[in-house]
A and B are shown apart, each in its own frame.
Chain A
Amino acid sequence: MRLAAESVSLGYGGDAVVVDEVSLEIPDGLTTVIVGANGCGKSTLLRGMARLLRPMSGQVVLDGKAVHKQPTRAVAKTLGLMPQSPIAPEGITVVDLVGRGRQPHRGALQRWSPDDDAAVAEALELTNTLDLADRVVDELSGGQRQRVWVAMALAQKTDLLLLDEPTTFLDVAHQIDLLDLLHGLRSSRGTTVVMVLHDLNLAARYADHLIAMSGGKVAATGKPSEVVTVDRVEEVFGLEAQVIPDPVSGTPLVVPIGRHHRPVVHPHAQGA
């Protein structure tokens, strides 16, 4: 395990604790997805692991050392982050934005090198954005823009990639597109992917390892089939639902019941 949290508590100043003594390990080379209701602390936990927040107590460990005691630059070579809905500077071109992902690999006086060109080209190819290379980021569609930000994080060439709700504001086709892209990365590059997702069904489909959070604590971890059950969905999301096998992937599929439908027993319903 290269990345782990050891009884980490996180907050935004003051006494309020958003993440409460969480301990967990991120399996290497797999996709880990963190899910939970609004305000459960999932994005805060991700920010803590990306060292954007200093823990109030406990520590985040990267390669055996506390992440906050390592030099920022060294961490930036190992751990990449795509924050929630980042905003590109006005007028910036795709290659320029993606090229800024090379920052941790360049010395203070080092000039742009062919290695940097190659890394940017590879990131653009992986995200299928090479044909957008000379376009201005402001003028792209939401889906293209999101892929370009992923490309920037890929140009950073880190073994671990953290993403905070990368599918927000994307329509469903682009959500699948982006998640397929991330899944491809972990298969082809062996990148460890950790992301926060809102959509429980997409989380169950794309995660190798699922972390369900509730009230600042970890409610359950494990394979999606172990974590996504009728009782857990009720407990973690406060949602009455049925859980059936996804007809395409076989992963758990959550079907909310809502107030206006009388609960009927579905023939394939799984027990808790």
Chain B
Amino acid sequence: MTVQSIDPAAVVRSARRAPRRRLIAVAGGLGAILFGLFALRVLVGDYIITLPDFFRILGGEEIPGATFILMESKLPRAVLAVLAGVAFGTAGAIFQSTLRNPLASPDMLGISLGASAAAVFSIVVLSLNGSALPVAGVVGAVLTALAIRVVAGSDGGYRLVLVGVTAAAGLIAVIQYLFTRANEYDAQLALRWITGSLNSAAWPTIRMLLAGLVVLLPLVAWTVKSQRVLELGPDVASALGVTHRYADMLLLLAVLLCALAVAATGPVAFVAFVAGPIARVLNGGRTTLLGAALVGAVVMVGADYVAAYGFSGTNLPVGVVTGAFGAPFLLWLLASGRAGRKS
């Protein structure tokens, strides 16, 4: 090797550059795809809105028909899809990388269903509604996460996945039982918490989710450095001065992100689960939370377009499409042996 003649620090600098360039390219590419899909979702479809009209409407002008469709349907759906996708994608990637198991995403572990079950319980049994429901959802998700943690221990392997899948099955049973006891009005309200859908996207919901992201995402960015160390396993992380507490804090942030997204759209199947691994493949096998957030948003907006216009005559909930897309993905993950890699 002729490395002696080269400045070693320069070798380090240049070797550090390549993965960063790749990440910038991945983020840029995903951003461009997201922008394109967003424009497609907002402007095209069963009702086409021209670009000049779009800006006129945003500027406050009333165009009969177009204004209503854009401001009450197309735009809120697209914006909510982006925000919920970011929340699901980030939450999933945090879970998968911190627990070092690609199966351990919050939707697989029943944490999304924990939020749903708590909200349905609040609707049917406690007769709550309005802004009390997202709070109930967050509480339900956190309690579910704690319960799984207590039963499974801090190990991120198959035991955790088994406990989580069991919890999910139990929560579905609870939700179904509650449904049998609900009156017609409550059942309508509760249905929103168990189907992942953007059909009821509204600006107050968007504001709630946006506020949550504005608070939570900077906290995630702040702890992301410790996430890179936690990826090395608990022993190495602890030797580098990053204790369990950081892992718990990151997981809590992810639970909150997931719960808020569920409160906004219902548990959209598989988005949290697929975002991290797809972003990793794009990023040369390396974990990237930014990439996962963007993939989550791309999947949501893309799936919603397919759900709305892909099947003539029906307007499917977005969760049906993500579910159909996610199930083969899970099989691939299991078949390729990527799942269950343990520390």
Is the contact region of chain B dominated by helix, strand, or loop, or is it mixed? helix
Q: Which of the candidate stretches A126-134, A196-204, A215-223, A236-244 sits at the interface with the other chain?
A: A126-134
- The answer on a CB contact under 8 Å between B233 and A106 is no
Contact of B229 among A50, A93, A100 (CB under 8 A): A100
Residues 70-91 of A, flagged 1 when their CB comes within 8 A of B and 0 if not, give: 0011111101110100111111
**With contacts A81-B236, A121-B9 known, is A100 near B241, CB below 8 A?**
no
**With contacts A51-B238, A122-B8, A124-B8 known, is A100 near B228, CB below 8 A?**
yes
Q: Which of the candidate stretches B46-54, B55-63, B283-291, B327-335 sits at the interface with the other chain?
A: B283-291
| In the complex, A52 has a CB within 8 A of chain B | yes
**How far apart sit A222 and B232, CA to CA, in the bound complex (Å)?**
35
- The answer on a CB contact under 8 Å between B285 and A136 is yes
Q: Which of the candidate stretches A34-42, A58-66, A112-120 sits at the interface with the other chain?
A: A112-120
**How far apart sit A170 and B8, CA to CA, in the bound complex (Å)?**
27
- The answer on a CB contact under 8 Å between A131 and B3 is yes
Residues 97-121 of A, flagged 1 when their CB comes within 8 A of B and 0 if not, give: 1011101101010001010011011
Contact of B240 among A87, A93, A95, A101 (CB under 8 A): A101
B50 to chain A, nearest CB (A): 44
- The answer on a CB contact under 8 Å between A92 and B12 is no
Instruction: Determine the chain B residues whose CB is within 8 A of the CB of A72 once the complex forms.
Output: 238, 241-243
Contact of A76 among B12, B15, B239, B287 (CB under 8 A): B239
Contact of B12 among A79, A97, A133 (CB under 8 A): A133
Instruction: Determine the chain A residues whose CB is within 8 A of the CB of B222 once the complex forms.
Output: 108
Closest B residue to A95 using CB positions: B15
Contact of A121 among B12, B100, B226, B285 (CB under 8 A): B12
| In the complex, A96 has a CB within 8 A of chain B | yes
**With contacts A91-B280, A103-B225, A131-B1 known, is A86 near B236, CB below 8 A?**
yes
B153 to chain A, nearest CB (A): 11
**With contacts A72-B241, A91-B280, A108-B222 known, is A130 near B11, CB below 8 A?**
yes
Instruction: Determine the chain B residues whose CB is within 8 A of the CB of A120 once the complex forms.
Output: 12
Q: Which residues of chain B in 4-51 are interfacial with respect to chain A, using CB atoms and an 8 Å cutoff?
A: 8-9, 11-16, 18-19
| In the complex, A156 has a CB within 8 A of chain B | yes
Instruction: Determine the chain B residues whose CB is within 8 A of the CB of A156 once the complex forms.
Output: 239-240
| In the complex, A94 has a CB within 8 A of chain B | yes
| In the complex, B343 has a CB within 8 A of chain A | yes
**How far apart sit A4 and B141, CA to CA, in the bound complex (Å)?**
45
- The answer on a CB contact under 8 Å between B9 and A83 is no
**How far apart sit A227 and B8, CA to CA, in the bound complex (Å)?**
42
Instruction: Determine the chain B residues whose CB is within 8 A of the CB of A87 once the complex forms.
Output: 233, 343
Is the contact region of chain A dominated by helix, strand, or loop, or is it mixed? helix
**How far apart sit A220 and B276, CA to CA, in the bound complex (Å)?**
51
Instruction: Determine the chain A residues whose CB is within 8 A of the CB of B286 once the complex forms.
Output: 89-92, 96
Instruction: Determine the chain A residues whose CB is within 8 A of the CB of B97 once the complex forms.
Output: 89
Q: Which residues of chain A in 30-56 are interfacial with respect to chain B, using CB atoms and an 8 Å cutoff?
A: 47, 50-52
- The answer on a CB contact under 8 Å between B239 and A81 is yes
Instruction: Determine the chain B residues whose CB is within 8 A of the CB of A235 once the complex forms.
Output: none
Instruction: Determine the chain A residues whose CB is within 8 A of the CB of B242 once the complex forms.
Output: 72, 103
| In the complex, B186 has a CB within 8 A of chain A | no
- The answer on a CB contact under 8 Å between B16 and A91 is no
Size category of the A interface is 35 or more
**How far apart sit A159 and B18, CA to CA, in the bound complex (Å)?**
32
A177 to chain B, nearest CB (A): 16
Contact of A91 among B100, B228, B235, B285 (CB under 8 A): B285
- The answer on a CB contact under 8 Å between A106 and B8 is no
Closest A residue to B284 using CB positions: A91
**With contacts A108-B222, A130-B3, A131-B3 known, is A117 near B287, CB below 8 A?**
no
Instruction: Determine the chain B residues whose CB is within 8 A of the CB of A117 once the complex forms.
Output: 9, 12-13, 16
**How far apart sit A73 and B241, CA to CA, in the bound complex (Å)?**
4
Contact of B15 among A50, A80, A100, A133 (CB under 8 A): A133
B4 to chain A, nearest CB (A): 9
- The answer on a CB contact under 8 Å between A130 and B8 is yes
A70 to chain B, nearest CB (A): 11
**With contacts A89-B286, A90-B280, A100-B228 known, is A95 near B239, CB below 8 A?**
no
**With contacts A106-B225, A121-B9, A121-B12 known, is A89 near B240, CB below 8 A?**
no
Contact of B241 among A86, A88, A97, A103 (CB under 8 A): A103
| In the complex, A125 has a CB within 8 A of chain B | yes
- The answer on a CB contact under 8 Å between A99 and B16 is yes
Q: Which residues of chain B in 260-285 are interfacial with respect to chain A, using CB atoms and an 8 Å cutoff?
A: 280, 283-285
Closest A residue to B283 using CB positions: A91
**How far apart sit A138 and B236, CA to CA, in the bound complex (Å)?**
17
Instruction: Determine the chain A residues whose CB is within 8 A of the CB of B341 once the complex forms.
Output: 90
B interface residues, Cβ below 8 angstroms from A: 1, 3, 8-9, 11-16, 18-19, 97, 100, 222, 225-226, 228-229, 231-233, 235-236, 238-243, 280, 283-287, 341, 343
30 contacts between A and B (CB under 8 A): A51-B238, A52-B239, A72-B238, A72-B242, A76-B240, A76-B241, A77-B241, A86-B236, A89-B287, A90-B280, A90-B286, A90-B341, A91-B280, A91-B283, A92-B286, A93-B15, A93-B18, A96-B16, A99-B16, A103-B225, A103-B240, A104-B240, A106-B225, A108-B222, A118-B9, A121-B8, A130-B8, A133-B15, A134-B14, A134-B18
A interface residues, Cβ below 8 angstroms from B: 47, 50-52, 72-77, 79-81, 83, 86-97, 99-101, 103-104, 106, 108, 112, 114, 117-118, 120-122, 124-125, 130-131, 133-134, 136, 138, 152-153, 156
Query: What are the 9 closest A-B residue pairs judged by CB atoms, nearest first?
Result: A91-B285, A76-B241, A121-B8, A81-B239, A133-B15, A134-B15, A83-B235, A73-B241, A91-B286
